[in-house]
Every structure is written in C-alpha cells, then in structure tokens.
Amino acid sequence: METTSLSRAVADEFAPETTYLNTSSCGLLPRRTVAAVGALAGALATGHRNGSGDFEAVDAARAGFARLAGVDADRVAIGSSVSVHVGLIAASLPPGAEVVTPEGEFSSVVSPFAVRGDLRMRYVPLDGLAEAVRPGTALVALSSVQSADGRIADLDAVREAAAAHGARTLLDATQSAGWLPLDAGAYDYTVTGGFKFLLCPRGASFLTVTEEAQRGLPAVFAAWAASDGPWNSMYGPVGRLAPSARRYDEPPAFLSYHGAERSLALLGEVGIDAVHAHATGLAARMRAGLAGIGHEAVPGESAIVAVPGLGGRAPELARAGVMVSDRAGSLRAAFHLYNTEADVDRALDVLSG
C-alpha cells in the first residue's frame, strides 16, 4: 500500500511516458529538479548571475545525502563519479596490499585498484566474501546491491569479518541508496553515484569517510574547493585543507548539484522506509509473475529483479514502451517510488506474449 507522502510525491513530481523499469541505469528526474537545473542554466545563458552556481546548493545536497546515509555532513565529500572517489581510496593503499572483492563486481569499484598493478587482487563469490577475508587483507570493496543481478550482500557478515582481521571496508551504495536504508558510518568508506535511485542529475556523487579513515587518505585531487577557505585559496598552493571530509571535494558541477539538492530533499520528505516497502513489494510481484509464465528470476528481496538468459528481450520490451536493461545476459528491471502495479503487469504482459 502506498503511503500518502509517496503517492503525493509521485503525482506532483513525475509523469513518465513509458513503463520505466530502468532506474538501475538512470533514475527519472523529479519536476523540482528539472526546474532547478533549468533556472540555473537560464541564468548562465543570460548573464544574470555572478559565478556558475551556488555553494549553498552544494552544501544542501551534501546535508541531504548525509541525512539519508545516517552520518554528519562533515563526513561527506562531493564529487562527479564513483570511479574518482574509488581512485582516491586506491591511491591510499601501499604496494602489495590485498583487496578482496566479489566476482563480477561493477568495474568502477574494482578497476582503480586493479590498474595500479602493484596490489594483490582477490575475486571471490559474493556469498563467500566474508569467509574470504583473512589476516593481511587490507580492504574489502563491494557493492551493497550487485549491478548485474540485484543480489544484496550479507553486509553484517562482511563488516564483522573485516573488523576481526583489521581490514577496511569500502561500500558502493549506488544501486541501493534511495530505496535500501544506508548506515554509511558503519563502513570506512562509502561511494554513491547520485544519478540512479537518488534521482539526481549525473555528475553528483558522494563519498563518506570515517574520521579514523581520513588519517590515511591523501587528498590527491585537492583544489581550491577543498581548502579551509575556498575564496582565499584560488591562487598558488592551497595553504590549509578543510578539516572535514570536504578536503576530498572536487570542484562541483553546479548544474548537477542544484538539481541534487531538490532530489535529495524529495527523498527525505517521502522517507526511505516508505520507498523500500513500495519498491520491494513491486519487485516481489514481478518475481511471482515471472514464475507464473515460466521464467525464474534471481531470488531475494531486492528492488532489482534479474532474469538470467532473458536479456535479449530488452529491445522487444522497449518497442512496447517498457524500459528495462540487459546486463550480463540477464533482463534487469528496477523498481522505485514512481512505479506501480500496472507497470509490473504491463511488463509481464509483454513477456508472456
């Protein structure tokens, strides 16, 4: 059953013209977000402002993400992409350090470590990740929800194993933040691309760092925006970096962050618990319907539904106005606050012929 706040948000903010089940690729932008981006773009086109955007909007987006992630805003750095955040973490590891990660993990999570060439990479099955952590493991890097098939990792077990062996943890919440409750403070680092379930324009991405983990993380991308006083640090080397996680900020893409402020506010108004109940309920309906027409989806309670071997039918669905994706040979459908039971039934109708 949809909550009142969720129903109102959908009616006020979204008007999809397709059966859109592809949030795992890109979320729909709320009307308020489109308006904020358009207003800034218009002002930039006509010369009616001094500067390319407002840091107040950036800090509001930072605070909005912090509330959803359960941490203080001074633990959140802003940037443009997950791979840049992960690259910063990869630069902090000494040669020979062991990184343990799931097989088939999303490229942005593993590539910054792998391309160094002097780290020991171990790829293990997702369901054996906790058991694979051992003495000498420096970092466990994983997504809370797998991009390819929507599987949810056993996060409690991974954290316990990492703590037992003194390993740091890096969690990518890109496929979960926005529908699955997130406790970012339970991990040394989290990275989250905002353009999927957080409904932000692409170019807004968030890094969280615990206070202890900050001690070993170099600000290798430091620029004036990461300084303790940005407007006094625009020429010559930065004299003093910000004392918070803002020292890891990239100069912001203002158009993206003016929109991100509004999208994150919307999710805060609706509440992640309400989105979680709604999205996972629709996903359960989809799994049951698929079984009824002879297709077995990857089991679980994720808002992302994947059907192995069925990815080739994504173009057929698109022609019928049902937007899904083909990932690793699986048909992948993702459910969010703007989806309905009618969306599920429409997709099942097309698949059943």
Classify residue 36: in a domain, yes or no: no
H/E segment holding residue 330:
strand 330-334
pLDDT single digits (tens) 197-245: 999 999 999 999 999 999 999 998 888 889 998 888 889 999 899 999 9
Q: Are residues 288 and 185 in the same domain?
A: no
Q: Are residues 95 and 105 in the same domain?
A: yes
The last residue of one of the domains, among 269, 304, 321, is: 269
Classify residue 40: in a domain, yes or no: no
The last residue of one of the domains, among 217, 243, 269, is: 269
Q: Which residues contact 210 (CB under 8 A, 6 or more apart)?
A: 75, 185, 187, 188, 189
Task: Tell me the pTM.
Answer: 0.96
Range of the domain at 95: 55-269
Q: Are residues 245 and 292 in the same domain?
A: no
Q: Does the pLDDT of residue 9 top 90, yes or no? A: no
Q: How confident is the model at residue 3, as a pLDDT? A: 63
The residue among 24, 23, 256, 47 whose CA lies nearest residue 146 is 24
Secondary structure of residue 177 in the 3-state scheme: coil
- Residue recorded with tokens 């379930």: 197
What is the CA 274 to chain-centroid distance, rounded?
Answer: 18
Give percent above pLDDT 90 in the chain.
Answer: 90
**DSSP 8-state code for residue 196:** S
C-alpha span between 126 and 100 (Å, rounded): 11
| Span of 30-39, 143-152, 237-246 with lowest mean pLDDT | 237-246
What is the average pLDDT across 177-199? 98
Q: Are residues 259 and 324 in the same domain?
A: no
> Do the beta carbons of residue 245 and residue 207 sit within 8 Å?
yes
What is the rounded average pLDDT for all residues in the chain? 96
CATH of the domain at 338: 3.90.1150.10
How many residues can be counted in the chain?
A: 353
Q: Which residues contact 308 (CB under 8 A, 6 or more apart)?
A: 149, 296, 298, 329, 330
The last residue of one of the domains, among 242, 269, 296, is: 269
Classify residue 291: in a domain, yes or no: yes
Q: How confident is the model at residue 305, as a pLDDT? A: 98
Q: Are residues 118 and 192 in the same domain?
A: yes
What is the average pLDDT across 61-86? 98
C-alpha span between 181 and 71 (Å, rounded): 12
pLDDT single digits (tens) 149-175: 999 999 999 999 999 999 999 999 999
Q: Does the pLDDT of residue 4 top 80, yes or no? A: no
Name the pairing type of β-strands 189-193 and 168-172.
Answer: parallel
CATH of the domain at 126: 3.40.640.10
Question: Quick one: pLDDT band at residue 1, thresholds 50, 70, 90?
Answer: very low
Q: Are residues 166 and 315 in the same domain?
A: no
| Span of 63-67, 74-78, 215-219 with lowest mean pLDDT | 215-219
Q: How many CA atoms lie within 13 A of 287 on its CB side?
A: 20
Q: Are residues 157 and 253 in the same domain?
A: yes
Q: At what angle are helices 31-46 and 254-270 packed, to 10 degrees?
A: 160
Amino acid residing at 63: A
Classify residue 37: in a domain, yes or no: no
Please tell me the total count of domains within the chain.
Answer: 2
List alpha helices for the chain, DSSP H. Answer: 4-13, 31-46, 55-69, 82-91, 107-114, 129-132, 155-165, 211-214, 254-270, 272-292, 314-319, 341-352
β-strand partners of 209: 189
C-alpha span between 317 and 347 (Å, rounded): 7
The residue among 241, 204, 194 whose CA lies nearest residue 220 is 241
Q: How confident is the model at residue 208, as a pLDDT? A: 98
| Span of 3-17, 140-154, 289-303 with lowest mean pLDDT | 3-17
The DSSP result for 110-163, as a single string, is HHHHHTTSSSEEEEE-GGGHHHH--TTEEEEEEESB-TTT-PBP-HHHHHHHHH
Classify residue 276: in a domain, yes or no: yes
C-alpha span between 53 and 200 (Å, rounded): 16
What is the CA 190 to chain-centroid distance, rounded?
Answer: 9
The residue among 245, 179, 198 whose CA lies nearest residue 217 is 245
